[in-house]
């Protein structure tokens, strides 16, 4: 115990000993008296109410309470052949507000987590520029800095659900999304320093990890709102999120947000890399495949109640909550249905409504204990309405993998247990 | 985006000019004195530094290194360094990626997307194998090895049938992959539910009561739950 450590003054130690003896005496006394009516957590003095806890040096970097140990990223082992090229999922059903804690942001790596000492990290700009440049991390911090809150969604989020309900929990159906505040530098400032030639139209971003991840990005987008970020949620990026440097491509598919960013090449054509041909192209029923489907469409999901967060309190007041987002800007409205899309009520959006960020919505109602079919439907500032899964399938067939933003249905049984279903 | 999509004759002429322009940063000190002064922040990259990192290859061949390799040379490397995951014929072991076959399945219920059936450009094979394979030992192959492996992957996909076929910097762009014409631009906004921006229905939107058509097929995603589910056929990509 900390108080027994050398630093505790003798008088305090004596005091503590007295306290311990006192507790034993009190326990004997209590058992002989009549049992108090009410909850023991109230009627009996609890340990944390009597004994001091850890001092300030015990937790130099604070972690969540030991009682939150289940709030973790989880993966689905059979999805991929090897955890080095795999994915895990944000526990959306355990979170609130719009900011995802850094340690819970889902992970998708193609060759594991690169551990890069920032002094050995460089960012190169080459290609159609007046002069190819190299920046150190310290150099990057000499450009004007900005802070922006953005969602990042993997284009394959909900990809397992194209053929029908598969995974029982919003962590698994929708957990390849997170939203943090990034600190970094606009790409435009860096490209201006190198001097982009007039024939330039595309930018290639490349990672320093063992997959050397690459994506082609139109220069227009790069100069508009892309950033190189070294910070998330007020501190340095986490290694899983690309420490020390990642690309931020607001509103566009997560794969383009290259982690461990080491190079930006300027060119006049796309490079047609593996991640924009073999992957991240959307196969349609007629055998054609869409490519360069960058924008993440308007989407929402009810995070509570949901299969991993059943209703345990019975009938009466119930708080339904969820998340909505769109790669087109802000969310203008979220509607909620409890009868499987027959009737809709507009939910309450609470907290900041920032463009290209998660939005938090609530819908409070009295549950009468009957079966429910919960759905949410988001509308974004451009007027795009979140489609149903059947609408998406009729337009694209079942093999698109990516960009499944269809309306999710949760079935609530009379016992409060919840299941991922598809309904008529 | 159609202006980026001109791969026809006009495009080739454009590419030729572009290749010249883009090749120059590889030797900036020799060919092109910079008009700019010293950068205010950062420093100018040396030609060797640019060469060390700039290994990307485009469909028009820009970025291909000098070198060559045959199908039979590729087979030897493949059997030693690739087959343990991708299978002797590119058919894959377990859930490792399939590299060959699947031609004619893109409209099928379970399409098989491989280099031969799906990939639009051969340059992507060269680029990707050179940067990321073999998995666990990236950047260990020589440029000739990668030409040979690319040739062998064409052979495994029945795109070439001669074991003596040789791929080189000079011959590379003459090989086209069969599925190239089947890639189209992003036209999601023309889908009916996106094109129609009228406000969505709020009341009596569907007849009758909702009925369950399908339950989650996999119930055992959380470690706590029992093993009741079946493993679906396809994983994430």
Helices B143-156 and B71-81, packing angle to 10 deg? 90
Q: What is the pLDDT of residue B35?
A: 59
The DSSP bridge partners found for residue A366 are A317
Q: What is the pLDDT of residue B219?
A: 55
Residue ranges, chain A, pLDDT below 70 = 1-33, 81
Residue B193 near chain A (CB below 8 Å): yes
Q: How far apart are CA B193 and CA B191, in angstroms?
A: 6
> How far apart are the CA of A378 and the nearest CA of chain B, in angstroms?
10
The residue written with tokens 């942001």 in the block is: A105
Whether residue B160 has pLDDT greater than 60 = yes
For residue A144, give the chain B residue with the closest CA: B41
Do residue A379 and residue B200 have CB atoms under 8 angstroms apart?
yes
Question: What is the rounded average pLDDT of the residues B101-125?
Answer: 97
Q: What is the pLDDT of residue A9?
A: 43
Q: Is B7 helix (H, G, I), strand (E, B) or coil?
A: coil
Q: What is the pLDDT of residue A7?
A: 44
Do residue B215 and residue A419 have CB atoms under 8 angstroms apart?
yes
Mean residue pLDDT of chain B comes to: 83
For residue B188, give the chain A residue with the closest CA: A293
Instruction: Report pLDDT digits (tens) over B20-34.
Output: 334 344 443 333 444
Q: Count contacts between A and B (CB, < 8 Å).
A: 291
Do residue A139 and residue B41 have CB atoms under 8 angstroms apart?
yes
Do residue B56 and residue A159 have CB atoms under 8 angstroms apart?
no
Q: Which of A202, A387, A409 sits opposite B193 (nearest CB)?
A: A387
Q: How far apart are CA B237 and CA B234, in angstroms?
A: 9
Report ipTM for this prediction: 0.89
Q: How far apart are CA A319 and CA A305, in angstroms?
A: 8
Radius of gyration of chain A (CA): 26
Do residue B124 and residue A278 have CB atoms under 8 angstroms apart?
yes
Q: Which of A159, A288, A421 sits opposite B212 (nearest CB)?
A: A421
Do residue A273 and residue B222 have CB atoms under 8 angstroms apart?
no
The answer to whether the peptide bond before residue B204 is cis (omega within 30 degrees of 0) is no
Q: What is the pLDDT of residue B38?
A: 87
Q: How far apart are CA A358 and CA A376, in angstroms?
A: 14
Closest CA to A118 of A137, A133, A135: A137
Q: What is the pLDDT of residue B233?
A: 37
**Confidence label for B8 from pLDDT (cuts 50, 70 and 90):** very low
Q: How far apart are CA A29 and CA A137, in angstroms?
A: 65
Q: What is the pLDDT of residue A84?
A: 75
Residue B8 near chain A (CB below 8 Å): no
Question: Would you give the DSSP letter of residue A306?
Answer: B
Do residue A126 and residue B235 have CB atoms under 8 angstroms apart?
no
Residue B9 near chain A (CB below 8 Å): no
Instruction: Report pLDDT digits (tens) over B201-218.
Output: 999 999 999 999 999 876
Do residue B186 and residue A139 have CB atoms under 8 angstroms apart?
no
Q: What is the pLDDT of residue B218?
A: 65
What's chain B's length in residues?
Answer: 237
Q: Which of A133, A164, A212 sits opposite B43 (nearest CB)?
A: A133
Do residue A341 and residue B205 have CB atoms under 8 angstroms apart?
yes
Instruction: Report pLDDT digits (tens) over B179-197.
Output: 999 999 999 999 999 999 8
């Amino acid at each position: 115990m900390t108080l027994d450590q050398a630093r505790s003054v003798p008088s305090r130690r004596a005091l503590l000993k007295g306290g311990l003896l006192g507790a034993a005496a009190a326990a004997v006394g209590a058992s002989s008296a009549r049992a108090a009516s009410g909850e023991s957590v109230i009627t009996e003095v609890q340990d944390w109410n009597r004994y001091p806890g850890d001092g300030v040096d015990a937790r130099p970097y604070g972690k969540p309470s030991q009682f939150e140990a289940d709030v973790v990223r989880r993966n689905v082992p059979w999805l991929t052949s090897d955890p080095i090229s795999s994915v895990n999922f944000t526990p959306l059903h355990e979170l609130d507000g719009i900011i995802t804690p850094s340690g819970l942001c889902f992970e998708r790596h193609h060759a594991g987590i690169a551990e890069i000492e920032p002094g050995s990290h460089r960012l190169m700009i080459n290609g159609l520029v007046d002069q190819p440049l190299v920046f150190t991390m310290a150099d990057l911090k000499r450009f004007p800095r900005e802070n922006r809150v953005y969602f990042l969604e993997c284009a394959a989020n909900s990809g397992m659900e194209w053929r029908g309900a598969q995974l029982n929990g919003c962590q698994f159906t929708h957990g390849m999304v997170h939203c943090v505040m990034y600190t970094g530098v606009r790409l435009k400032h860096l490209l201006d320093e190198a001097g982009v030639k007039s024939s330039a139209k595309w930018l290639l971003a490349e990672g320093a990890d063992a997959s050397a991840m690459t994506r082609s990005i139109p220069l227009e987008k790069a100069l508009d709102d892309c950033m190189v970020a070294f910070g998330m949620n007020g501190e340095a990026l986490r290694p899983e999120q690309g420490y020390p440097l990642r690309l931020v491509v607001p509103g566009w598919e997560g794969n383009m947000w290259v982690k461990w960013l080491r190079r930006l090449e300027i060119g006049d054509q796309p490079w047609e890399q593996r991640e924009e041909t073999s992957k991240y192209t959307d196969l349609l029923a007629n055998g054609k495949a869409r490519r360069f489907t960058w924008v993440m469409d308007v989407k929402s999901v009810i995070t509570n109640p949901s299969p991993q967060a059943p209703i345990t309190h019975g009938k009466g007041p119930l708080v339904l909550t969820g998340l909505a987002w769109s790669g087109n800007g802000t969310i203008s409205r979220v509607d909620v249905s409890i009868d499987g899309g027959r009737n809709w009520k507009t939910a309450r959006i609470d907290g900041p409504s920032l463009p290209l960020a998660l939005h938090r919505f609530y819908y409070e109602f009295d549950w009468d204990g009957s079966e429910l079919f919960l759905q949410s439907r988001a509308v974004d500032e451009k007027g795009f309405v979140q489609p149903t899964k059947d609408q998406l399938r009729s337009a694209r067939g079942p093999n698109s993998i990516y960009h499944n933003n269809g309306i999710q249905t949760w079935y609530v049984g009379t016992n409060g247990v919840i299941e991922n279903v598809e309904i008529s | 985006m159609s202006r980026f999509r001109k791969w026809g004759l006009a495009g080739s002429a454009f590419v030729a000019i572009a290749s010249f322009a883009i090749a120059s940063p590889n030797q900036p000190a020799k060919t092109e004195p910079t008009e700019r002064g010293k950068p205010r922040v950062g420093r100018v990259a040396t030609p060797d530094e640019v060469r060390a990192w700039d290994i990307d290859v485009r469909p028009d061949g820009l970025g291909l290194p000098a070198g060559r390799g045959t199908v039979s040379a590729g087979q030897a490397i493949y059997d030693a360094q690739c087959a343990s995951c991708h299978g002797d014929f590119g058919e894959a072991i377990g859930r490792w990626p399939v590299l060959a076959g699947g031609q004619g399945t893109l409209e099928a219920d379970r399409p098989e997307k491989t280099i031969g059936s799906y990939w639009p450009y051969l340059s992507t094979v060269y680029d990707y194998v050179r940067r990321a394979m073999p998995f666990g030992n990236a950047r260990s192959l020589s440029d000739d090895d990668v030409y040979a492996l690319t040739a062998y992957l064409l052979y495994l996909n029945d795109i070439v049938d001669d074991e003596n076929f040789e791929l080189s910097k000079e011959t590379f762009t003459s090989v086209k992959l069969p599925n190239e014409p089947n890639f189209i631009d992003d036209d999601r906004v023309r889908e009916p539910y996106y094109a129609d921006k009228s406000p969505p229905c709020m009341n009596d939107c569907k007849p009758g009561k909702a009925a369950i058509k399908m339950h989650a097929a996999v119930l055992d995603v959380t470690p706590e739950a029992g093993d009741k589910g079946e493993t679906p056929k396809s994983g994430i990509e």
